Structure 1
Amino acid sequence: MSTALTARERMLGRLRASAPASPDAVDVIDAAIDSHYQARRAASPQSPRQHIAAMQAALRAAHADVDCVSMDAWPALLAQRLDAHGVRRLLLDADSREGLALRTALPAGVETLSFERPLAQWKSELFDTVEAGFTVARSGIAASGSLVIAPDAATPRTVSLAPPLHICLVYASTLHADLHAAARAERWADGMPANLVLVSGPSKTSDIQQTLAYGAHGPRWLWVLIIDDLSAHEGGQP
């Protein structure tokens, strides 16, 4: 029988032989990463208003529709757009503050549904008849135009994945300059949700001929509403 080690065995042997990094070494690495991103942000500082502009530009470059609206105006604007788009069944968290505001503004022809049943009981109905899903982002990353979504029981990942139209609301006061700033400000190192999702545009894929197609593995359209609440937060996120 051959005693030669496989590539996998050699790799595992090297990993076992490697001593784990000491806590001091980890702190040094973390400090170097922090210093790099802090210096980069200091070299090109952005105001909260500039975070909004950067977020809009990045999302539009990824073929998302973006509006920046006031806290009072967004429900009526979204209701009008949903009606014009022909949406008749909308999935949302009806008990959330934003869900209640949107339901009040919707025309009578738009039916709202909540994620109250196990998926297996209404999977066909969800995928065949629900035209849009509405979520509220935990925060946003301006540099990449990414929405940080933390799904929960009332708004599971399916809400932003299954319907062909995903609508996401994000507050301007929660926008971060970059991913590092988001991770630090929200203390991700202290414990992240089990399912933290980053959305940076509608679903897209391309075949071997590099033909780009939207909606193959998720929503074909992404609408983002950036709610301008900066004045209510004393200038917004630093």
Structure 2
Amino acid sequence: MSSHTARERILARLHASGTEQTRVPEAPPPPDLSLDRDARIERLATQMTAIRTEVHLVDADRWTDKLKALAREKGWRRLLFGPGSPIGPAIEKAWPSDADGLPERVAYSSQVETFKDDLFEIDAGITSVRGGVADTGAVVLWPTPHEPRLMSLVPPVHVAVLDADTIYNSLSEMMASENWAAGMPTNALLISGPSKTADIEFTLVFGVHGPKELILIIKK
């Protein structure tokens, strides 16, 4: 008996036996949150802290002071930022290039092909954040030419700066409120903590595919 004939006989028996289709009900949508501003901040901070994000809540006009304090405390030597980003001017204003005890400001202002050697010598990268999602505990990054994805992916430490007024109850609320349907980037990112992975023995390891540390500064 040829293999072709045997396969046909097996398939014929399967078809003849019939198969009963089991209908799988659709999962109900998660309940909508309706938290006030303070509760959204607290939920986001709690959720992200639980998965090893270092969260700092600061006055909106003092966030660069907190950044400088963190830089000194952690001993960063080089800090990557985007001069044309929403937070770039504030960093330039508050961060003298010759400030004692502070890391060198490294501006991302050239193509990655000419910058890649310097890129892997960076201690921390800082980016702005599009918004926060309270129900799942995540921040949304919307990469641009001024703040490409590599700024939050390559350095071992990623510092994200979030305006508390842009924390939404849910991702769907954020998408509707900001009218994402009118135009989206090719790469919108939801980040809930530092890079992590687990092997087949369920050993959780941080920093394998990205930053080992995520620091979130929330401007209240």
TM-score by length of 1: 0.75
Matches within 5 A, 1:75-114: 75-106=64-95, 107-108=99-100, 109-114=102-107
Match of 2:112 in 1: 119
Which ranges in structure 2 are unaligned for 5 or more consecutive residues? 8-27
**Alignment partners' CA distance in 2, 1:121 and 1:114:** 13
Q: Does structure 1 residue 169 correspond to structure 2 residue 133?
A: no
**Alignment partners' CA distance in 1, 2:68 and 2:94:** 6
Counterpart among 44, 65, 78 of residue 55 in structure 1: 44
**Alignment partners' CA distance in 2, 1:104 and 1:198:** 29
Structure with the larger helix share: 1
RMSD across aligned positions (CA): 2.4
- CA deviations 1:168-210 (Å, max 9, x no partner) are 0111111110121112112222321122111111000111111
Match of 2:211 in 1: 219
Say which SS state the counterpart of residue 46 (structure 1) adopts.
coil
**Alignment partners' CA distance in 2, 1:47 and 1:188:** 23
**Alignment partners' CA distance in 2, 1:36 and 1:145:** 17
TM-score by length of 2: 0.81
Deviation of 1:139 after TM superposition, in Å, equals: 0.8
Which ranges in structure 1 are unaligned for 5 or more consecutive residues? 5-34, 229-238
**Alignment partners' CA distance in 2, 1:58 and 1:97:** 26
The structure with the larger Rg is 2
Kindly, what percent of the aligned residue pairs are identical? 33
**Alignment partners' CA distance in 1, 2:172 and 2:149:** 23
Q: Is the 8 A contact 2:127 2:161 kept in 1?
A: yes
Matches within 5 A, 1:18-33: none
The one-letter amino acid of 1:112's match is R
- CA deviations 1:49-69 (Å, max 9, x no partner) are 100000101110110000111
**Alignment partners' CA distance in 2, 1:177 and 1:218:** 27
Match of 1:205 in 2: 197
Q: Is the 8 A contact 1:114 1:154 kept in 2?
A: no
Higher mean Cα deviation, 108-117 or 66-75?
Answer: 108-117
**Alignment partners' CA distance in 2, 1:198 and 1:54:** 16
